[in-house]
Amino acid sequence: MKVLLNAKQIDSALNKLTNRIVADIPEGVEIAVIGIRSRGEIVAQRLAERLSKKINSEIPCGTLDITLYRDDLNSPKSGSQPQVRTTEIRFDIDDKIIILVDDVLHTGRSARAAMDALIDLGRPKAIRLAVLVDRAGREFPIQADYAGYKADAKPGTLVQVLLKESDNKEQVIVE
């Protein structure tokens, strides 16, 4: 196991994401932040708080469950029943720029599933992907618009984000 980011570096990566999003979004355009369950929702909540403070306006934040949109849902290799949880988006996504947030971007499959789920909920003006960690290994032509950290992880390794809200630790590790 190797630590890629410690708590201070995660905080710095979130500040970097916040600043890049604020610089990129045109003034007067409505934005909302939606996190992919489970660690993406935690990163999204932190990001929404920082964005709200930065632009002095409340940024709505929601949580998206992509379980039923995954392309491995009925895979014989999965072996277990997936746990479907709730999607909690209590605002209209139409005509807003949605900042879709995940902890790690690897193959692009989760981001693709999340975009499918979002489109079923409405018609956003645009969807921008923000990830805490971006690593190589895409299987779909999906790239992060905003990445807090680019990890140089070898194929076959696991990049795991541990956050105090869910893991009582604050670090990004590669195994």
Compute the Cα dihedral for 26, 52, 65, 137 and give only its sign: positive
Does 154 fall in a domain? yes
DSSP one-letter code for 88: B
| pLDDT, mean over the chain | 92
Does 126 fall in a domain? yes
Helix (H) or strand (E) holding 64: strand 61-64
Does 45 fall in a domain? yes
Judged by average pLDDT, the poorest of 76-85, 89-98, 106-115, 139-148 is: 76-85
Q: Residue 107 and residue 86: Cα distance in Å, rounded?
A: 24
> What is the pLDDT, as a whole number, of residue 105?
97
Does 76 fall in a domain? no
Does 36 fall in a domain? yes
Q: How many C-alpha atoms does 90 have within 13 Å on its Cβ side?
A: 4
DSSP one-letter code for 77: T
pLDDT at residue 6 tops 70: yes
Q: Residue 43 and residue 101: Cα distance in Å, rounded?
A: 7
Does 78 fall in a domain? no
Q: Domain total for the chain?
A: 1
> What is the pLDDT, as a whole number, of residue 48?
98
DSSP one-letter code for 59: P
Exposed (0-12), middle (13-18) or buried (19+): which is 20, by Cβ within 10 Å? Answer: middle
- Residue 127: give its domain's CATH number: 3.40.50.2020
Boundaries of domain holding 51: 2-23+30-71+84-174
- Of the pLDDT bands very low, low, confident and very high (cuts 50, 70, 90), residue 83 is confident
> What is the pLDDT, as a whole number, of residue 93?
97
Does 77 fall in a domain? no
pLDDT at residue 35 tops 70: yes
DSSP one-letter code for 10: H
> What is the pLDDT, as a whole number, of residue 82?
64
> What is the pLDDT, as a whole number, of residue 77?
59
Q: What is the pTM of this model?
A: 0.92
Does 107 fall in a domain? yes
Here the tokens at position 79 are: 């072996």
pLDDT at residue 22 tops 90: yes
